[in-house]
Each structure stands twice: as C-alpha cells, then as structure tokens.
Structure 1
Amino acid sequence: MNRRQLIAALAASAFLPGSAAAAPPTPEALATDIALLRRALALHCGLHRYNTPAQMNARIEALSRDFAAAADTAQRYLILSRFLATIRDGHSYANFFNQRRSVAAELFDRPTRVPFHFRWLDRRMVVTAYGRDQLPPGTIVERLNGTPDRDILSRLLPYTRTDGHNEGKRVSLLELRGTESIETFDVFHGLVFGPPPESRHRIEAVTPDGRRFTVELPVISLAQRRAQMVVQEDGDGPIWTWTVRPDGIAVLDMPSWALYNSKWDWEPWLRARLDTLPSLAGLIIDLRGNEGGNDCGAPILARLIATKLTRDAGERRVRFRTTPKDLDPYLDTWDDSFRTLGVDAADLGNGFFRLPPVAGVDWIDPVAPRIVRPVAALVGPVNSSATFQFAHLAKRSRAIRLFGEETGGNLQGTIGGGFFFVRLPASGLEFDLPLIGYDPSGPRRDGGVRPDVAIRTTAADIAAGHDPTMDAAARWISSG
C-alpha cells in the first residue's frame, strides 16, 4: 500500500476543507498534539524495531519542545516529518495526500519547482527529461542556486521515509520521475531551501560531452509538474502496457499497482495476456517505478509456480485488541473494522497480538494452466510495499529472475495492511499510522531484496538513451 492508495481509499476525508486553525495555535495546544501522537504511536508495531524505548521517548520529548516553538505550519511539518523518519518505517509519514486543503495549499503549492525530471546516480543529479534544449538527458546538475547537488541530497534525506536502514529508498523518493502528482523532492526542497531569487533557478551543469555552463530557468507550478506525469492512474482504462518485441519477448510495463480509484478490471486484462505467453519467447515485467498498491503480482506468480508458495512474511501482528474510545475521533480510516483488529488475535505478551493466517494473504496457490517460460522482473529502490513483497516472493519462487538494483522495503519486516490517518487538531497536520506488522522469524539482513543480476544505470546510459537493465534481461531470455 502506498501514498496513492491512501488518497483513493479515503477519498471522502483526504484534503478535508477548512483551515488548520483560525488563529495561530498556542504552545499549549501544540503540546496536546504531541501527547496525542505519543498515544497513537503506542498502536505502532514497529516503533521499537530500530529504536529503543529510551531513544524514542527522548525523540518525542524533543519533538514536543520543537513543535511548540515552531514559527509556522511549514516548520511544524518539517519537524514532524523529520521525527517520523526516525521510526524507520516506510509507511509512517505526514502524507502529502491526506493533509487538509488549506494545509496542502500552503505547504505544497509553492513557486519553487525545478523545471526538469532527474535521477540521483552516485549521488549526482542527472537530468532525464524536460530539460529543454539547455539540459539534455544525461546532463549533471552540479549546483542548484549555488548549492552542490550532493549537499542538496544530504540535507533532504533526513526528512524522507524508509524501512530500516535501506537508504536507497530514501534516495529514490528524492528523484523526479513523473510518477506522483505531488513529488517528495518538490515538497522538501521547496520547504527547506525556499523559492529562488526572482523565481528562477540558477543551474551550474555539465553536459554529457563534458561542456560546463550556467543557465537560469524559471520555476514551474504544481499544475505544470502534474502535466509532466508519466502515470495517470485515475482513469478507467488500462495503465499497464503489454508489447511484444521483434525477438518475441513480451514486455509488461506496470508503473503502478494503485488501482483502488480505477474502474479498470485489471485481472481479466492480465489473464488474457498471460494466456498468450506460451507462444512467446518470454516475459519482462518492468516494476522499477512502482512503489506498490494492490497485490497485482500474485496472479502472475500463481501461473508460474507448481506448488503452494508461502509468503514468508512472518507473523502478522498488531499492538491492540481495540482502539481507545477517546482516541478514535482522531483516527481517520476507510474501514472501521481496523479499530477492532486484535479482538480475535492471540496474545503474544509484551503488548503484541498475532492475527490468524488467511488464504491469499499468507500463501499463493498455483493456478492452471501453468506457464513455463523464462520471466524476468526489473526492480529497484522504488519497490517498497506490494512490489517489494512481490520481488521477495519472486526470488524465493525461482520462477522469476530479478534484474536491476536492490529494492526498497526491508527483509527484517514491514508494516502495513491497514492504516489510521492521525489528525492532530491544533496544528491541522496528519500522519499515517500503519497497523499490521509482518515479523519474519530468524535473523534477516537490514535491507531490501537484492536482484539476481545487479545492473547500474549511468549518466552516459541516460544520455545515449540506453536501458542496460532491460537489455540484460532480454539477453538472458534470448540465451535460454
């Protein structure tokens, strides 16, 4: 589940109208917000997975002081975001899409956006698109408004979310790929660095052929950024594509699995195309820009496996039987059954309750007719929710070979499955609180799923229009 899912799942309450407060909130009122946050976090399964209770208590105390002393909503949003990032849970953050309209307008619609898309490659800002003639793909932006690109990245990373110490996810969030209607880089760069002089960015760059130059380009608006999106998931038609290359390899491009707000019946569409796979050389599934959403990977795996495939995500745990009644008014959600998640759960002690196993959630059964063709999946650090789980399963199944970079998510466990959207009344801010912890047994590496074949994209690849990950996957299928 990801941020795009949340706007779909709670459409009636996301972007609620009204202002955060008619007058600036008092320090005493803001202190009650943090007291509410502390109580809500007691429901969080992973609060002490990467932090000791003493460390978290100290951080909440510091948050309370800093939050009350902050000058405005923007400062409070940054302070809250930086605190939530220390939990090291990729679903716990002050969700852009669940803020009230007035807060969202104040924080996210600022005249600060850079007019191009880019990736971070070896901690360098590499232009990928929309750079006009001045910034062709592969150009490295060495300084933006006088600040070195590496320093920009270092200053923004503490505000971004990840699972555990998987830093690749944080870096990927600070790229501009055109997959989000509100981009993480736009938000935090705008709030931390502010608008550039005269609404023009001063860019010191080096072109792919080594020429250094300086150019000034105007900022773009939120509407202009959205016009550059490569994923438009709110329609009713397919957002995936299935193409067959001249070499007989099918490419399934899946830029998003967040289909909760779409009337598109994706399962028959996918099934019909998988049915054609036995007559083709193989399949490449491109997931590199896909954070997650629906469990769209399970029907693919079901056609490739011969026996039951357990998810190996470990026990599903919660931290409560029922939510406190006096806390409920501040816990927004789209499914009130979440408030009683632990009623029938087994008491594990230490405040944890184990949920019973569920078919389709804890394992995948094979579906006939089985497809026996080479299948590759292209993965990377963006994959941190449902796509992380898919990558983990795909690698364990040995039915799919992974190409690319280490995924987001974390093998030590993730948290999701259900959410509360915690509304802090004095400040008007919201943060997402995931409810179900997935706790695998035994020691696990603190990181994502590593691909079977690691591929790194370079600035030279971008300049030349090469896709080395796609090329490597195609060579593997063709060689078989």
Structure 2
Amino acid sequence: MKNLTFILLLLSITLYGSKQEKKKEYICLPCKDSCDLEIFDHNGPCSTCKMELVEKGTYNKTLTKDQITEDFTVLITTLKNNHPGIYDYQSENDFNQTITSLKAQIPSAKNVLDEYKIMSKLISSVSDAHTYVMNPYYQNILQEELLFPIIPKVDNNKILIDGERLKSINGYQEEEILNRLQAFSNSDGNTIPYKNAFIEMEFPIKYFTFIDNSQTFEVVLANGKTRTLEGKSFFKSGLRNKQSRPSFSVNGNNAILKIPSWEDETATSFNRNLDEMAKNSTLGKFIKKSLETTIKAQTKHLIIDLRGNKGGKSGPAAILLRYLINKPFAYYNQIKVSSDSFPTKKHITNKELVAFYESEDSKKLITKVEGSYFFKKELLPTILPQLDSFSGSVEILVDKYSLSVSTDVVAILKKNREVKITGDEIGGSLEHYCAGNYINLKLPNSGIEVNIPLQRLAY
C-alpha cells in the first residue's frame, strides 16, 4: 500500500512538474519590424519596437451580445444611409430579411471573429466588390497560426491543388468549402468569379477563419489520391504575390500591352487634365509611349492584357482609351451619391471626407433628382480622342481578377468600338459599380473596419 501511495505521489509530482514546464509564450503585435517573428518567454514592452507584448493565442477578444448588436446596428445604419447602391441587386425587403436572419445569430457569437463572420455575410449581401469588411486579426492569424500550406487555384468553381481537382479537406467536400467561403465573400452583382479570385488569393486564412482551424489537413483529391499536410506559417512570406510591372512588346503585326494594375501615385482620375497626366504620371507616360510606338509601327492588332488587374486610378485608363476610340466619349455617364447625411459619423475615421460631403462646397457639385443625389454633368466631361488614334483591331484579355478600372476599359470600349474580349471570367460589372470616395467605418466595440464607397458609377 505504501508503494502504491508512493507511486501515485510520484506520478502527481511528475504531472505537476510537466504542467509547470509549459510556460506562457508572448509575442509582439504585428508592427512590420523584425520582432514580429520572435517569441518571448516574458511579458512587458518589446525591446525592439517598445509595444507591450501579449500572450500568444489571446488575440480574439471576447464580446457581449449587446456589444455585437451595437456594432451590427451601426453598420446597418451606415449602409442604409450612405451606400449608393445598397439596393442595386436586392430589394429593401430582401435586405431586411437578411438583417433579421443574421441578427438571430448574434446570441451565439462570443468574440470578434464571430462578429466578423456575421458582418462579412451582411456585406456579401450588398453585392459590391468595393464594399468590404477587413479581418481584424489578419496579421495575428498569419503571425500565430499554422494554416493550410497550399494556395490552390480556384477556376470555374473548382478547387485545384497542383493541377488536380480537390474532393475534400478534413472531410469538408469541395462544394461545401466553396459555398461557405462564397457566402462570406463580396463581389459586384454577387458574381462568383471575383469571389473565387479572393478565395484563391487568401485561401489559407479564409479556410482557417470560416471553415476549420485545424493544423493538420487530410486532403483527398478527385482522382482518389490522399495527402496529409502539416500547417504552415505564412507570416514571413505573406499570401499575395508581388505585383508585376507593366510591359509592352511588338512582334510583327501584333503589339502586346500588359497592365497588371492601374495603381499609380503620380496619376489622378479621368476628369483631370489627361494631356498633363500622360506627360507626368508614371503609368500615363508608359501607355502614351506604348501606343505611339504601336501606331508608328503600323501594327494591325493590339492585345491589352488586364488579367490580374483589380483596378486603381482611372486617369491612365482614360489616356489609353483616347488612343483606341476615334470619337468623343463619356467615361462615366452618371455618378450617384447616397446622401449628404452621416448619422454614424462619430465611428467614421476619415472625418475630413464626411466634412466635405456635409459642406456647402459639396452641395455646389451635387444635384438632387427625384430624391436621389448625383454629381452634376459638368463634372463628367466628354473625353476627346487623340488626333492619331489606333485603327487596328483590339483584343482585351481578362480573368476573374479584372475589376473596377479594368472593367471601365472593357465596358467603355464595348460601347464605343468593336473589341474582342478574351477570357471566360471577368471580376466586375460592365454596367455599374460603387467606388470613388470611401468612408472607413470602425465599429465601436470590436474595432472591425468596413470600407464603404460613396459613389455609384454608371457607364
């Protein structure tokens, strides 16, 4: 009996000792410094950036039902008052039904990520690619979690891993994974291609957030092959590929102009001085030189590659269009704004934009027609073509990532000249979308931020 007591005592000491050995680990909140990659055995300020260290695995803040309800109400109020296309793809009754359905999920929500899921579904119902809710713990998840280690391809509503179609991950079937992720994703007109573009681009973090937070993955392919994959950290490498540069080449009768992005800090919008922009902006100068070379070489066929181009500044796009359309044309036919009232402005971080829309200066630019607000027509100038425009055939290459200003180019060309569009998917709408100025709404309890455009742009 004494021996048994001794053994039990020894076992309890051993177990107690093993528990003692599991020390807490601390990390620095993401600050883009070298300390982001370090794990500390103590709390206190970080020796590198001086930020307070936090215990690893504790980033997901707990929220009460009342706090989530307040955040939910703030977001709904903002959308209904300030989103100019809130009912483009749904009726007011449909939206209210969505609100009722999501509100019923609030009692079971316990933390910020739970709230994020509810807000993501609400934003998805708006069917606008430029209205999105930001994952508040994006960097924390990258920093602390081991995620699905492969970024798959998502083409034509199929998930492909190393070229092979997926059947399931940890028992979740391919169709279920896509349906669930698409329900939390935004796109123009609720179109699937652009939803799939972002699912593809951020699959590891979206799978973790919305499907399964396992660190080991049993993968079954449609061909019957199975693989067991261990989770991977993407914190150092990131999920998104680096943006490539624009390129141009002439090969015989063909010229190829690739524009991977319309982003250009030196450029502005379509309604500014395009001649000056073509001389002084980085992308404007590149487009001008490329088109002048194309015309001088008497090239018969111009291919413009907009695959992967999610948008940016409209000015460089207008410069391009001036070389391709041989008559005066409108960039946008109409720009609508929702209102000049911001009932949730205390939660909007870019208050200078709110101040402008509430100002008398803004009222000089906006006219009210049948209860709706529009920018005055004089702010939408007719764009004149270049004297020496390109007369050959034009082909545009697009894919599921082609959005925003890229769809501007496609829509305006289709409206004004013969053009061939190549690509079985396109990310954006060719009729209208919401973009322009954006308010940044920060929800009061979770700190979740939502990007909401104030302009509805129609061709």
Q: TM-score range by the shorter chain?
A: 0.7 to 0.9
Q: 2:347 aligns with which of 330, 333, 340?
A: 330
Residue 163 of structure 1, CA deviation: 1.7
Structure 2 counterpart of 1:380: 399
Q: Does 1:158 align with 2:176?
A: no
Q: Does 1:242 align with 2:248?
A: yes
Structure 2 counterpart of 1:130: none
Residue 164 of structure 1, CA deviation: 1.9
Counterpart amino acid of residue 332 in structure 1: T
Counterpart amino acid of residue 260 in structure 2: P
Deviation string 1:216-236 (CA, Å, 9 cap, x unpaired) is 23333223553761426xxxx
C-alpha distance in structure 2 between counterparts of 1:431 and 1:240, whole Å: 31
Q: Any conservation in 1 of the 2:63–2:110 contact (CA below 8 Å)?
A: no
C-alpha distance in structure 2 between counterparts of 1:283 and 1:93, whole Å: 35
Structure 1 counterpart of 2:225: 213
Question: Within 5 A, what are the aligned runs for 1:28-427?
Answer: 28-41=66-79, 42-67=81-106, 69-96=108-135, 99=136, 103-107=137-141, 109=143, 111-127=145-161, 135=162, 138-176=163-201, 183=202, 185-196=203-214, 199-205=215-221, 212-223=224-235, 225-226=237-238, 229-231=241-243, 239-245=245-251, 247-260=252-265, 265-278=282-295, 279=297, 280-295=299-314, 296-311=316-331, 313-324=332-343, 327-333=344-350, 336=353, 338-340=356-358, 343-344=363-364, 345-350=366-371, 352-358=372-378, 361=380, 363-398=382-417, 400-427=419-446
Residue 110 of structure 1, CA deviation: 5.5
Residue 335 of structure 1, CA deviation: 5.5
Residue 329 of structure 1, CA deviation: 2.6
Q: Any conservation in 2 of the 1:28–1:68 contact (CA below 8 Å)?
A: no
What runs of 5+ residues in structure 1 fail to find an aligned partner?
A: 1-16, 128-134, 177-182, 233-238, 441-480
Aligned-CA RMSD value: 3.1
Deviation string 1:129-154 (CA, Å, 9 cap, x unpaired) is xxxxxx4xx22233223322222112
Counterpart amino acid of residue 228 in structure 2: E
C-alpha distance in structure 2 between counterparts of 1:348 and 1:228, whole Å: 43
Q: 1:57 to 1:148 in 2, by over 3 A?
A: closer
Deviation string 1:108-166 (CA, Å, 9 cap, x unpaired) is 55635433343333432224xxxxxxx4xx22233223322222112211111112242
Any idea what SS the aligned residue of 1:291 has?
A: coil
Deviation string 1:252-301 (CA, Å, 9 cap, x unpaired) is 22222233499972211221222210214532111121111112322111
Which portions of structure 1, spanning 4 or more consecutive aligned residues, are displaced by more than 6 angstroms?
Answer: 17-23, 261-264
C-alpha distance in structure 2 between counterparts of 1:110 and 1:261, whole Å: 37
Q: 1:141 to 1:226 in 2, by over 3 A?
A: same
Counterpart amino acid of residue 215 in structure 1: R
Residue 94 of structure 1, CA deviation: 0.2
What runs of 5+ residues in structure 2 fail to find an aligned partner?
A: 1-50, 268-279
C-alpha distance in structure 1 between counterparts of 2:418 and 2:143, whole Å: 45
C-alpha distance in structure 1 between counterparts of 2:381 and 2:147, whole Å: 42
C-alpha distance in structure 1 between counterparts of 2:77 and 2:374, whole Å: 21
Higher RCO, Cα 8 Å, sep 6+ = 1
Residue 322 of structure 1, CA deviation: 4.5
Residue 308 of structure 1, CA deviation: 0.6
Q: Any conservation in 2 of the 1:323–1:339 contact (CA below 8 Å)?
A: no
- What percentage of residue pairs aligned between the two structures are identical? 21
Any idea what SS the aligned residue of 1:275 has?
A: helix
Give the number of equivalent residue pairs: 385
C-alpha distance in structure 2 between counterparts of 1:70 and 1:272, whole Å: 55
Q: Any conservation in 1 of the 2:401–2:427 contact (CA below 8 Å)?
A: yes
Q: 2:65 aligns with which of 14, 24, 27?
A: 27
Any idea what SS the aligned residue of 1:86 has?
A: helix
TM-score, normalisation: structure 1: 0.71
C-alpha distance in structure 2 between counterparts of 1:61 and 1:92, whole Å: 20
Q: 1:155 to 1:61 in 2, by over 3 A?
A: closer
C-alpha distance in structure 2 between counterparts of 1:288 and 1:29, whole Å: 42
Q: Say which structure is richer in helix.
A: 2
**Greater Cα radius of gyration, structure 1 or 2:** 2
TM-score, normalisation: structure 2: 0.74
C-alpha distance in structure 1 between counterparts of 2:292 and 2:432, whole Å: 34
Residue 389 of structure 1, CA deviation: 1.5
Deviation string 1:7-54 (CA, Å, 9 cap, x unpaired) is xxxxxxxxxx99999973433233222222232111111122222223
C-alpha distance in structure 1 between counterparts of 2:325 and 2:356, whole Å: 33
C-alpha distance in structure 2 between counterparts of 1:62 and 1:76, whole Å: 14
Any idea what SS the aligned residue of 2:127 has?
A: coil
